[in-house]
Amino acid sequence: MRIMRSIILFLAVLFAVPALGQRRKQSDEASVPAFTEGITYALPRSGLRIYVEASKEIHEPGPYAQYATQLLGIENVQNKPSVKWSITDVEIESFSEPDPNHVYKAIGETASLISLTPSGCLAGINTGSGELFTVSDRTLTYIDKPIRNNSHDFSRFNHNPEYTRGDSTTNFRPVRMSTEDKAVEAAKRILESRNLRYQMVAGLMDEFHPDGEAYRESLRELKKIEEGYLSLFTGKARYEKQRIGINFIPTAASEKGEVAFRFSEESGVLPSSNVAGKPVMLRVEHDKEFASKFSKLASSQNPDAGESGLFYRMPVTVNVNLIYELNTIASTRIVLPQFGQVAPIPEEMLIGGYSIEIHPETGAIKSVSKE
């Protein structure tokens, strides 16, 4: 009986060991991940560099602004200092960079055939060691130092003496001139300058200028004198200009409009995050029907399509508009790869000596040739 039990135990262990080894082998195989070696690359996308030039007008009221209507009949003269910014010029250009939303991995033997740009974008497949076109980078300049117009102000201007000669009523002592008296004198000189110009043009003067150039120079000087005195009533304006560069990457949200930057008449160009200014919207319009047609024709019936990990993109041309207060202030037509469709490169073109060149700035196929 004891011998029989020993035989049964031996047979149980004998059959259990292979099964245990098999389970351990399966478990070990399942725990070992399968790695696929390859080369990672990206398709490109386009960004926009927006250069905005803004002009700052600083108005300084004239010292005699309150007398402009009374003495010269000029209405609505500004009598308080003011600052006003305005957008004077906008330029838009594009730049290319890798698209973080479209990063792929070429695997297998095809990974040894690809060529990449310095930024890691796909440039070609089986193109050899020849020189490939690469997109050159351009530094974005941000000029925050204003360009000044050195127009002088009224701080050192005084067209009349502070005092005038007195008479018997003041025991011939000098009398300080009031602001109103100075304004009256300035108005008189404006009218005198206008009258002299009229007499010269109408030929009412006793003597004529010896030549035409002297005549024209006299008119210019009289005009300059008149404008100088007139500014004492209407004020002076000086200007500062500012040129600012902004980087912007259009996305799908740009179709409805995104805030590119903000603008304030008091502060000028502001970042998009600064709600002190009104938004300047960037809107992208593209032909969705074109993209849909490409997507249908580029689709493959091959079940192995895309297995090698090589893709290209068909970019689309879009209209880019900058809109401020419902008015379009800048518009351009440009190619944006990220609005196009991505498709796999046919697997049969990856063998048999095919050479495929890619436009690095758009990800589109440039040429296909067979050696």
pLDDT 10s digits, 12-52 = 544 444 444 444 444 444 444 444 678 999 999 999 999 99
Amino acid at 299: S
Give first-to-last CA distance, the chain, whole Å: 83
Place of tokens 């690809």: 114
Rounded to whole angstroms, how far apart are CA atoms 9 and 3? 10
pTM of the model: 0.70
For the CA atoms of the chain, what is the radius of gyration?
A: 40
Q: What is the mean pLDDT of the chain?
A: 79
Give the pair of three-digit tokens for residue 118. 């310095």
**Percentage, residues of the chain above pLDDT 90:** 34
Average the pLDDT over 283-289 and give the result.
85
b/e burial code for range 30-59 (CB count within 10 A of at least 16 → b): eeeeeeeebbebbbbbbbbbbbbbbbbebe
pLDDT 10s digits, 45-90 = 999 999 999 999 999 898 899 999 999 888 988 889 999 999 999 9
Query: 210 CB contacts (<8 Å, ≥6 apart)?
Result: none
Look at residue 255 and tell me whether its pLDDT is greater than 50: yes
Query: 132 CB contacts (<8 Å, ≥6 apart)?
Result: 115, 117, 123, 124, 357, 360
Look at residue 156 and tell me whether its pLDDT is greater than 90: no
- Candidate ranges 11-20, 264-273, 284-293; pick with highest mean pLDDT: 264-273
Rounded to whole angstroms, how far apart are CA atoms 141 and 144? 9
Are 338 and 99 in contact, with CB atoms under 8 Å apart? Answer: yes
Rounded to whole angstroms, how far apart are CA atoms 254 and 45? 14
pLDDT score at 290: 77
pLDDT score at 195: 86
pLDDT score at 325: 93
Look at residue 140 and tell me whether its pLDDT is greater than 70: no
pLDDT score at 167: 65
pLDDT score at 331: 93
Domain ranges of the chain: 38-148+238-370, 163-234
Dmax of the chain from CA atoms?
A: 159
Q: How many CB atoms lie within 10 A of CB 130?
A: 9
Quick one: which of 102, 131, 57 has its CA closest to 342? 102
Comparing 12-21, 168-177, 189-198, 253-262, the range with the smallest average pLDDT is 12-21
Task: Please give the angle made by the CA atoms of 338, 344 and 346, to the nearest 5 degrees.
Answer: 145
pLDDT 10s digits, 181-218 = 888 888 898 898 888 888 887 776 666 666 667 778 88
Q: How many CB atoms lie within 10 A of CB 286?
A: 19
Average the pLDDT over 304-318 and give the result.
85
